[in-house]
Amino acid sequence: MEQPKQADPWAAVYRRFAATECPHDPLYVAICQAVADSPELLALMRHAPATQAKPNLLLAALHERVLAGAKHPLTDYFPSTAGERMPDAQLPELLLDFARSQSAELRMHLQSRSTQTNEIGRCAVLWPALQHIAHLTGRQDLALFDLGSSAGLNLGVDAYHYRYLQGEACFSLGADAQPERPTIDCRWLGEAAPPAASAWRLAQRLGADPCPVDVHDPHATRWLAACVWPHDQVRAQRLQQALQMARSADYAVRRATDCLDLLEEWLKTLPAQLQPVLFNSWVLAYFEADALADLRQRLARLQREHGLVWLSAEAPSLRPEGLALPALAGGASASTLWTLQWAAQDVTAQVALAWSHPHGAWVQWLGP
Ligand SMILES: C[S@@+](CC[C@H](N)C(=O)[O-])C[C@H]1O[C@@H](n2cnc3c(N)ncnc32)[C@H](O)[C@@H]1O
């Protein structure tokens, strides 16, 4: 085995990643440790631009090569391709050999890709949130604009089936369960009931992203799948189902450098009876402070001028200014806070609607 000649700062990053980001994933722990011990593998990080360089990116690049069907014994460790081998003493050597055999493709990914995901588990909260908005506004025909939509899979929120577990009880929302349709399981924490029934429908929908994923492009969608960790077969399967449904439905997703320009144009085209809803999930962290302040100002104006309702699912630090942090149910750890903003007379009304797991594995409904 090669020995590092001197400490590479990336080695510490990989060891920390193994300890804090993926401690429950034995394969990624073993790969991160093997990378940390190998100057040759650590050197791969030099190919990634500073803004993208992180262990996740190399892990996704390796996974993409496995999903692409590379023939190599390293693939035996990957559950995503039915591998059953547990990490063992041979893994570091096999990993190095695999990386050498795939070096051109790995370099290309590191130079050009980012760890982009599209998580439909969040629709387990988006669905009741839309129900709440229909109830709040008294309008059943909604028009959904997904800001930072990635592949636009959350635009299919009304086509998925949701199964909620509340204590010992279970209830369902959304479309009927069918074998080819994603079923999203979610624990409903706390005592609150789901929002009052309202027969809403999505009359229009549009996704916008500076870097959209084309659901018809097999390379782009394989990269999306590679960003899901190999042990997580539930997410992997529902991603494939959602991609298949999006290919048939052909939801409009537009590339836009400034998605708010596109939003403003879109709002002008909407029939008056539709209720426009702007949704973003795990997007605002990509905005610099100035751009975020500008976005908030522009959205406040669009709320006044177009009756836009803004549903935002982000880290709690990105909640609307002045909104108090709601209490979390016992046992849950703070992650995604769902907030709603709209223009009420001349002021902006804002409420916290829900806490949730970042991938929608649980929701704590707060909405009135
Ligand atoms: C973590 S992904 C979340 C994707 C999707 N919203 C979801 O919940 O699965 C972040 C997305 O934000 C997009 N993004 C980055 N900068 C953006 C910007 N300035 N405006 C809109 N979207 C942006 C990225 O391209 C990426 O698709």
Q: Is the CB of 336 under 6 A from ligand 1?
A: no
Among candidate residues 189, 123, 169, the one with its CA nearest the CA of residue 364: 189
Does 295 lie in the same domain as 216? yes
Select from 58, 86, 112 the last residue of a domain.
Answer: 112
- Number of residues that make up the chain: 368
* Residues above pLDDT 70, as percent of the chain: 98
Distance CA 309, CA 270 (A): 14
Residue nearest to ligand 1 atom 15, measured at CA: 286
The tens digit of pLDDT for each residue in 147-163 reads 999 999 999 999 999 99
| 281 alpha carbon – ligand 1 mean position (Å) | 8
Does 173 fall in a domain? yes
Mutual angle of helices 9-20 and 26-36, in 10-degree steps: 170
Q: Is the CB of 312 under 6 A from ligand 1?
A: no
Does 124 fall in a domain? yes
Does 4 fall in a domain? no
> pLDDT confidence of 193, banded at 50, 70, 90?
confident
The tens digit of pLDDT for each residue in 232-281 reads 999 999 999 999 999 999 999 999 999 999 999 999 999 999 999 999 99
Nearest atom in ligand 1 to 287's CA: 19
Q: Is the CB of 117 under 6 A from ligand 1?
A: yes
pLDDT value at residue 51: 87
Total structural domains in the chain? 2
Mutation pick for ligand 1 pocket among 52, 126, 259, 286 (CB with most ligand atoms within 8 Å): 286
Does 132 lie in the same domain as 249? yes
Helix (H/G/I), strand (E/B), else coil: 278:
strand
| 80 alpha carbon – ligand 1 mean position (Å) | 25
Does 3 fall in a domain? no
> pLDDT confidence of 318, banded at 50, 70, 90?
very high
Residue range of the domain that includes 279: 120-365
Does 104 lie in the same domain as 181? no
Select from 56, 91, 112 the last residue of a domain.
Answer: 112
Does 221 lie in the same domain as 94? no
The tens digit of pLDDT for each residue in 49-75 reads 998 899 999 999 999 999 999 999 999
Q: Is the CB of 209 under 6 A from ligand 1?
A: yes
| 84 alpha carbon – ligand 1 mean position (Å) | 34
Select from 79, 112, 145 the last residue of a domain.
Answer: 112
Nearest atom in ligand 1 to 150's CA: 27
| 346 alpha carbon – ligand 1 mean position (Å) | 30
> pLDDT confidence of 190, banded at 50, 70, 90?
confident
Assign 3-state DSSP to the chain and report helix, strand, coil percentages, each to 5: 45, 20, 35
Q: Is the CB of 147 under 6 A from ligand 1?
A: yes
Distance CA 309, CA 292 (A): 18
pLDDT value at residue 332: 74
Q: Is the CB of 363 under 6 A from ligand 1?
A: no
| 307 alpha carbon – ligand 1 mean position (Å) | 24
Does 312 lie in the same domain as 205? yes
1 vs 229, residue with greater confidence: 229
Does 58 lie in the same domain as 134? no
Does 193 lie in the same domain as 134? yes
Global pTM reads 0.94
Does 248 lie in the same domain as 154? yes
Distance CA 300, CA 137 (A): 17
Does 39 lie in the same domain as 125? no
